[in-house]
Structure 1
């Protein structure tokens, strides 16, 4: 579970570290929604920021003959530097990280 948490934090750091135009001062991004629940069987978290970036994820511990370990489902969205809306849904399980870009993401 720690690897998934580190991955989530690394992904967030990459999104937050995108180059910004220093010529135009923009207001700092605020967290407008944040929720999380963690227990022995898994976790669930979501957040949204004032610039429209959001992420939600659910992780569940599986202990079956088919799979043993963490199974994660989630999605994230953000606005790319060129203004394009990026929206990705993903599954991470015994088959690895499997992202799917959502082409019909609504514009903000």
Structure 2
């Protein structure tokens, strides 16, 4: 009986503690502020930017030579991480795979 009483008191104290917390802030809706794209038989490119600072741009080119056959893609994206850091990543994706390079606010290369 004592264990049940202690368990009930612990649950009640947790419920009361969470009731004292303010409700989480409502996130602002994110809008697209810039968007552009072009696609043809030799490749594609696109870019977009949102009101929260997120953006991405990418170009893909179809390669059909002895060195590589398929898409070769170059691009970059940036966003604000949950801890407030501004993250930027540039990348190449080709016959050697996905090769990202990340930078943070200090513009020093980060380990990826």
Q: Within 1, Cα distance between the matches of 2:65 and 2:38? A: 23
Correspondences of 1:19-98 after superposition (within 5 Å)? 23-98=24-99
Question: Unpaired segments of 5 or more residues in structure 2?
Answer: 1-22
Q: What TM-score results when the alignment is normalised by the length of structure 2?
A: 0.72
Question: Unpaired segments of 5 or more residues in structure 1?
Answer: 1-21
Q: Within 2, Cα distance between the matches of 1:95 and 1:62? A: 14
Runs of 4+ in 1 over 6 A off after TM superposition: none
Give the deviation of 1:102 after TM superposition: 2.3
SS in 1 for 2:25: coil
The structure whose Rg is larger is 2
Q: Within 2, Cα distance between the matches of 1:86 and 1:26? A: 20
User: CA-atom RMSD, angstroms?
Assistant: 1.3
How many aligned positions are there? 84
